[in-house]
Structure 1
Amino acid sequence: MPSAVRFGVNYTPSEGWFHHWLDFDLDSVRADLDSIAALGLDHIRVFPLWPYFQPNRTLIRERAVADLVRLVDAAAERGLDVNVDGLQGHLSSFDFLPAWTRTWHRRNLFTDPDVVEGQAGYLRTLAAALHGRPNFIGMTLGNEVNQFSAGPHPDPDRATAEQIDAWLTRMLAACEEGAPGRLHLHAEYDATWYQDDQPFTPAQAARHGGVTAVHSWVFNGTAQRHGRTSVPAEHHAAYLVELSKAWADDPHRPVWLQEVGAPAPLVPAEHAAAFTEATVTHALDCPDLWGITWWCSHDVSRELADFPALEYGLGLLTNDRKPKDTAGVLARAASARHTYAPAPRTTALVVPADPAVRSACAPGGPVFDAFFRLTADGARPTTVLDTRADDQDHLAARGVTEVVTPDQALPAPQGRQGGTRS
């Protein structure tokens, strides 16, 4: 039966970018939200900048929280639901961390007891302030906070997977304390799925919180290796959705494609609409998709300095709120959301459960290559852990009827006979 899929956008204010919290202008926000609502989208994801809201460990600025509530209320007036990211954290190549965690006050973001309690208090405060708003979806702990926990960050806050597990449990509990029953989750960039030494693991992503969130960016080596019109590039978002399902305990756990965009120059502006349409079409062929939230709403103003070049043009709308061709693509998809009823994916590709070898799933790895070979052959694959590949009850619950290893899905090296599918 058809089911609803959410279509939304990550809200980047057209005036002042996320620095708009310093000079909050509700009229400007309303104009931005009008331009988003005109596309027929149903939700936005918003980003309070953590140091602006909690400049001292024991000071959460009431005026900043009130401005966030005003934004959420303005969204409600336009029929938009709101997800709020708490710990910002990292956005568009910039780190935003409060001074009480850095330099002379350097303390680990994930393991220091005082920092952890300060974070929990902040998340609980934001959630509680919004709990009574019917259009408040829930909290995301922060934007890609895993980038602080390992390289290539220049100054990582190292932690073990067990310490991260405890941190996620505490932060999600704080959100639930503030807003019981809402959809609270965490979201990381794709190193969680691809980088062997990341302490944020695939199992955590697929088992903590109300949904699994994936962020898909083809500048991770996919477009560089294969090109923007390739099967891997156009199906990368769908791949992450299906890869995440291998680790989920719930056979029908929802997956939120929470960030995806068309980054120049790998996807030139004149080809962004075609890339957007292909990405959305293939993502909608994934069962149990919660929603698609595009990055981002409005272009970054050219008056702002030092952003990576690609950040200035990622918006569905220009900086003066004019829709681009990509906006039309997402608007059409949103208007047809009632047709979402993908068939089960019956072929499962085996992936290693051991997070120490998750690079097998990264661009150039055998799982990655095998998945897209199967996709090119029309197999519509999903994934299954090697520890579950023989679990008939698990496979049946997911609708899987065929299990394939990477060796079986890829051409055999010259001089070696390939195996047959099991």
Structure 2
Amino acid sequence: MTTREPVRRGRHFLVRDGQPYVPVGAHLVPSSGPDWPWRVGIEEFDRELAAMAAAGLDTVRVDLVWAALEPRPGELAEDHLGVLDSLLEAADRHGLTLHPVLFVGGEVGDAVWEPEWVGGRNPHRDEELLDLQVRQASALGRRWAGHPTLLAWDLSDEPPHWLHKDSTTDDDARGWTRLLASALRETDPAHLITVGTASQEVDGAPFRSDVVSAELDFACVHPYPIYSPELYPDDLLSPRMTHAAAFETALAAGAGKPVMVHEYGASSVQFTPEQIAAYDRLLVWSAFGRGAIGFYAWCWTDAEPAAYGRAPYVRMPHELQFGLTEHTGVPRPRLASTADLARTLRTLPLDGLAGDGPVVDAGIMVPFEYASPYDERAYGLEAEPSGPYLPAERAWDPERDVKPLVRAWLNAFVLASRAGISAGFPREGLDHAWPDLPLLLLPAPLTTTTSSLLHLRTSFWAGAGDFHARGGTVYLSLSAESAVPDAERLAGIRLAGRAAVRDRVVLTVVAPFGGLVPGDTIVLPAGSADLHLRGARIEPTDAVVVAVDPDGAPAVTLAARGRGHTVVCAYPAELLLAAQPDAHAATDSSWRLYDAVRRVAGLTPALGIEHPDVSRARLSGPAGTLVVLTNHSPVEVEVETEDAQTVRVAPHGHAVLPVVDSD
């Protein structure tokens, strides 16, 4: 065997043989298709695993197809178990860790391969199916207990099970995860457990990390912005797209567990292989800078031509060519970028300079209602006798749309990155306490009313005084839907109606503001009649007007509060940018608003580097920090550090700068 003990959790990263381990590999789907148990044997896997190891990868993720493993209820197929044993041995022989995926289930395109005997029942709630899954998980745990080649158990690929996405609740997801994790820990306590989720955070879906991560050793994201045009109306290499993995990593990590980027990629049926390699490079390195603990590319190899005429590929042609290699084994450009990631991470002093995880200097708040919808603890009725309250919102809006909130988070995250701010996603609590951070970013709709899913609780604002007393700066963007209690005390303004709707919004600076000078302009996209996309009219009381709109009305204000500040933008800048295709390009000036807020808060970018196209992220450890730079532009960028060192970052490239503490 290649290791002496199973992989375990460290302070932040995984640990293998006593050293930090960031697994880098791919999901292996044989070129004949995802229904591999009926098509190929261990010989093909052995060849592909050898090729993966030769390319410099160190781990592989493989589906355990439920229908093949359990052809009849409660009866595990011994012959197929033997194949899986051989697969584990082959991974060990080639020096790869194996990350098995249980209860597959849906895989590739719209294909569902679950056993026929499931009969349309929901595996996350049907009592008989739950019992059968617990028994299978327990059996697999006993069979491979403590095996050092097994990286971690993956409970399923992209749950909820694909036929039951609309019928699975948060309680179903939480209960299913708890049952299977408990079963595995009882028979195999040595191995880590996760679940390979996709788009759960950005869709507000039941397997989001706020719901299930308490049962897991680490969380996962499958960032596929190409499948979310409502969030990413962009070309592949647009900056919002290339920040997707960093954004989802940071958002999921806010629930409390480290996060692995479990799948990522794009199809060379739709984009050039060179574009995809650049996209991969930006995706993984920016996510690593935000704390990602591992990477599995989707997927190892393309589908072979013989598979084109059968499901799932005959129905989903884009799924044909996600491979790091062509079906013949010829490397695609993205294999080189993936191998470089693996090779570079193995050389970095992760324990000393990154072992404590990412440095966060600002928070973008996540409402309590997003994490725990309709939680009776949030109603404020427990402290004293009250009437029998029920929220009618559940009936008025049974399918609440989380996307306005996610659009705001995403564009705030990208603006922060361009301004040199490392933003995380702290969760709103019930104690009104604000995060202990120097800067808090509250983009609309967090400041609005109507849908409780989208905004902070009314009592949240009570924590502003303590936050300002600690020297904190808070930024708010407003819309015509905003309702901020006691805005005079918080921000030195009064809300005074709805701003005019224009083809575009030009904010003109009229007073010095965080490095901006009178006459500077910030241009935002057009609003609309939708109140969430329309600005607010504000009247300053003791706030200073630092920018005005085209009517000369106050558009940005600055108020000193305690030892800190409140900055207000009267327009929902983040939501306006969300609707703009290919926003955040090199010619866009909107990031300067966040740059000014950063300066007001007294924050300095990593190593003092200032360039909007280069994201600057930091990881820390007991001996110093790692600074990760990613250039989200198609031209080489030259930046200067605070100690006058020049760093060149290639087009769509990256640089990793170790900074060792002098003492």
- The TM-score with structure 1 as length reference comes to 0.87
2:259 maps to what in 1? 255
1:242 maps to what in 2? 250
- What displacement does 1:371 show? 1.4
Within 5 A, what are the aligned runs for 1:285-364? Answer: 285-287=289-291, 289-304=292-307, 305-306=310-311, 307=313, 308-337=316-345, 338-339=347-348, 341=354, 344-355=359-370, 358-362=402-406
Q: Note closer, same or farther for the CA distance 1:40–1:391 as it changes in structure 2 (3 Å cut).
A: farther
- What displacement does 1:51 show? 0.6
Query: Which whole-Å CA distance do the structure 2 matches of 1:170 and 1:230 have between them?
Result: 41
Contact 2:232 2:240 in 1 (8 A): no
Query: Which whole-Å CA distance do the structure 2 matches of 1:207 and 1:416 have between them?
Result: 45
Q: Which amino acid aligns with 1:404?
A: L
1:202 maps to what in 2? 209
2:285 maps to what in 1? 281
Kindly indicate whether structure 1 or structure 2 has the higher relative contact order, using CA contacts under 8 Å at least 6 residues apart.
Answer: 1
Q: Which amino acid aligns with 1:245?
A: A
Contact 1:360 1:368 in 2 (8 A): no
Q: Cα RMSD (Å) of the superposition?
A: 2.6
Query: Which whole-Å CA distance do the structure 1 matches of 2:206 and 2:258 have between them?
Result: 23
Contact 1:263 1:314 in 2 (8 A): yes
1:138 equivalenced with 2:276 (yes/no): no
Q: Note closer, same or farther for the CA distance 1:55–1:39 as it changes in structure 2 (3 Å cut).
A: same
Query: Which whole-Å CA distance do the structure 1 matches of 2:124 and 2:158 have between them?
Result: 14
Contact 1:116 1:167 in 2 (8 A): yes
Query: Which whole-Å CA distance do the structure 2 matches of 1:187 and 1:245 have between them?
Result: 14
Contact 2:234 2:241 in 1 (8 A): yes
Contact 1:146 1:189 in 2 (8 A): no
Q: Note closer, same or farther for the CA distance 1:263–1:383 as it changes in structure 2 (3 Å cut).
A: farther
1:5 equivalenced with 2:37 (yes/no): no
1:97 maps to what in 2? 114
Match of 1:166 among 175, 191, 197: 175
Match of 1:269 among 264, 267, 273: 273
1:118 maps to what in 2? 132
Within 5 A, what are the aligned runs for 1:74-85? Answer: 74-85=90-101
Contact 1:127 1:138 in 2 (8 A): no
Query: Which whole-Å CA distance do the structure 2 matches of 1:319 and 1:187 have between them?
Result: 25
Give per-residue Cα distances to partners, 1:42-96, cap 9 Å, x unaligned.
1111101111111111211011111111001001001000111111011112111
Q: Note closer, same or farther for the CA distance 1:370–1:202 as it changes in structure 2 (3 Å cut).
A: same
Q: Note closer, same or farther for the CA distance 1:390–1:374 as it changes in structure 2 (3 Å cut).
A: farther
Contact 2:29 2:301 in 1 (8 A): yes
Structure 2: runs of 5+ lacking an equivalent = 1-11, 14-19, 374-400, 445-474, 478-523, 525-533, 536-548, 558-566, 568-596, 602-663
Q: Note closer, same or farther for the CA distance 1:202–1:293 as it changes in structure 2 (3 Å cut).
A: same
Contact 2:269 2:321 in 1 (8 A): no
Counting strand residues as a fraction of each chain, which structure ranks higher?
2
Query: Which whole-Å CA distance do the structure 1 matches of 2:415 and 2:214 have between them?
Result: 28
2:30 counterpart SS class = coil
1:44 counterpart SS class = strand
1:65 equivalenced with 2:65 (yes/no): no
Q: Which amino acid aligns with 2:299?
A: C
Contact 2:146 2:191 in 1 (8 A): no
Contact 1:43 1:81 in 2 (8 A): yes
Contact 1:9 1:295 in 2 (8 A): yes
Q: Which amino acid aligns with 1:284?
A: F
- What displacement does 1:38 show? 1.2
2:653 maps to what in 1? none
1:96 counterpart SS class = coil
Within 5 A, what are the aligned runs for 1:183-222? Answer: 183-190=192-199, 192-196=200-204, 198-222=205-229
Q: Which amino acid aligns with 1:292?
A: F
Q: Which amino acid aligns with 1:279?
A: L
1:417 equivalenced with 2:555 (yes/no): yes
2:627 maps to what in 1? none
Q: Which amino acid aligns with 1:402?
A: L
Q: Note closer, same or farther for the CA distance 1:285–1:132 as it changes in structure 2 (3 Å cut).
A: closer
Give per-residue Cα distances to partners, 1:198-246, cap 9 Å, x unaligned.
3334312432211011111011335851221222111100100000122
2:413 maps to what in 1? 371
Query: Which whole-Å CA distance do the structure 1 matches of 2:554 and 2:149 have between them?
Result: 58
- What displacement does 1:189 show? 1.4
Query: Which whole-Å CA distance do the structure 1 matches of 2:211 and 2:232 have between them?
Result: 29
Match of 2:70 among 50, 54, 69: 54
Query: Which whole-Å CA distance do the structure 1 matches of 2:44 and 2:35 have between them?
Result: 13
| Alignment length (residue pairs) | 399
Structure 1: runs of 5+ lacking an equivalent = none
Query: Which whole-Å CA distance do the structure 1 matches of 2:336 and 2:321 have between them?
Result: 16
Contact 2:249 2:290 in 1 (8 A): yes
